[in-house]
Amino acid sequence: MQPEIAVRDARAEDAEAFVRAYEVAWDAMAGPLVGKTLADLASLESRLESFRSGLDQSSDDARILVAERDAAIVGIATSVRDGESCELRSLYVVPGAWGTGVARRLSEAALDAMRDHGAAEAVLWVLEANGRARRFYEREGWTLTGETRVSPLGPREVRYRRAL
């Protein structure tokens, strides 16, 4: 039997566990595609400060969510309202929790938060080469918009949209 997954709003005391989970998940999924680890891009202290700043700026238009299993943070999601839509800025799950329903639970909670914000649609950007994430989003009802851009890290990204 799988351990229960709890999704909740992030709290200040989650800072280190959030940043560590994000690092492990990002390094496993995006790191190989961009050729860098999260530690290569920013110091631990700057990532902790960014998390704390995000919590301080959280409002009705932004959410930071965590997924816990066995009292450990195993996934994170962030979203922000942008006009009539909300953007899913991040959705990362640590490799040990892949395939356990954590991503689906985080995604559902983020979409519920977006609906609560009154948004009509959700959008996101994902690395074009990130096949695992793209398959997940497509299974969850997201559709490609045809828009692309070059990420600040170099690789191309594609945009997805989903009606809320």
**CATH code of the domain covering residue 15:** 3.40.630.30
Mean pLDDT of the chain: 90
For the chain, what is the domain count? 1
In this prediction, residue 141 has a pLDDT band, given cuts at 50, 70 and 90, of very high
pLDDT tens across 110-136, in order? 999 899 888 899 999 999 999 999 999
Residue 56 has pLDDT above 80, yes or no: no
57 pLDDT higher than 90: no
Three-state SS for 139?
Answer: helix
pLDDT at 59 over 80: no
Quickly state the pLDDT bin for 60 (edges 50, 70, 90): low
pLDDT at 37: 80
Domain assignment of residue 41, given as a range = 5-163
Quote the strand ranges of the chain, DSSP E. Answer: 5-9, 62-69, 72-82, 85-93, 121-127, 143-150, 156-163
Which strands sit side by side in the sheet containing 62-69, from one edge to the other?
5-9, 62-69, 72-82, 85-93, 121-127, 156-163, 143-150
